[in-house]
Structure 1
């Protein structure tokens, strides 16, 4: 959890910074979790992790990311754009932590003012001892705008759809590396 005296990530819209890292997710939010095999072997792991860190997973999922960093780093701001015209959503986030080991790579970002939700989402690619490459996504969120609140259950369905797209994108990136 975030130390309240830590001012390095001051604009986040929720207090439980880092809560997607381990353990149970905070109460008072909707929770999402996905843990699936996306391929096998070191090459698949490296390609998927690289695509994740370069925002390619988001592009392949149908979002348009714009970031102040070409690669996810703590403190980087990424604004995701979804939809077209008057239905276009602007979704600003900030990377709050990284995980980079020989067999685990990923990051989490938290919501910034202007995001339709409040909360955090973590993306992790792992290389298991048996050679399986897994995509793990954990998130907690609640509506932050009138539009998100009005969406009710549809908002959760959209989140599940986007999570499915992230998994598909990581599976594809693990094969192609593009």
Structure 2
């Protein structure tokens, strides 16, 4: 992937995980419990009901459509989330753009569960992992869950202090609303 990443500082010294990831706890959003020493986030949103909603939501999550429709700019090495895929999510404009380089660390393409997680790469404002999963429950309801653990990696996210987790939670809620619109048309 071409490097279009603009960072506003140098990354904090952090133990590096496999494949150049900027954290050592790779896969923890799937295996749980989430590791200590990070801010944890868990957000669930009801998307709708039924097979069609489940399929539409799962496709939107794993093909980056949810992120794109939410207003983010996405560059990815593949059209669908697969382990090892490099992806960059960018929000903002001009000098206020924040680019977040990541790598897909796990995927789920199951009968009642579809999604993925990406982990941060050097240059990401945070250090950690975030998963985006669509589940179809026994009653037919379709839920979207964002699970994350992160801590500041750059000077500006450290300086922002408690504002960053609030923004992350607001973005997770925004993704849920966006996915509901996509899946229920």
Structure 2: distance between partners of 1:115 and 1:36:
26
| Corresponding residue number in structure 1 for 2:10 | none
Q: Work out whether 1:175 is the aligned partner of 2:172.
A: no
TM-score (norm 2): 0.88
Instruction: Report how many aligned residue pairs link the two structures.
Output: 169
| Corresponding residue number in structure 1 for 2:121 | 112
User: Which consecutive unaligned segments of at least 5 residues does structure 2 have?
Assistant: 1-16
| Corresponding residue number in structure 2 for 1:50 | 59
Q: Work out whether 1:73 is the aligned partner of 2:73.
A: no
TM-score (norm 1): 0.92
The structural deviation recorded for 1:22 is: 3.1
**What are the superposed Cα offsets for residues 22-69 of structure 1, whole Å, 9 maximum, x if unpaired?**
332100000000122210000000000001111011112221011111
The structural deviation recorded for 1:73 is: 0.7
Which of the numbers 150, 155, 165 marks the counterpart of 1:156? 165
Tell me the C-alpha RMSD between the 2 structures.
Answer: 1.1
Structure 2: distance between partners of 1:92 and 1:62:
17
Structure 2: distance between partners of 1:36 and 1:164:
8
User: Which consecutive unaligned segments of at least 5 residues does structure 1 have?
Assistant: 1-6
Structure 2: distance between partners of 1:22 and 1:62:
30
Structure 2: distance between partners of 1:22 and 1:99:
12
Structure 1: distance between partners of 2:29 and 2:139:
25
Moved over 3 A (4+): none
Which of the numbers 13, 29, 37 marks the counterpart of 1:20? 29
Structure 1: distance between partners of 2:165 and 2:42:
12
Retained in 1: the 8 A contact 2:125–2:153?
A: yes
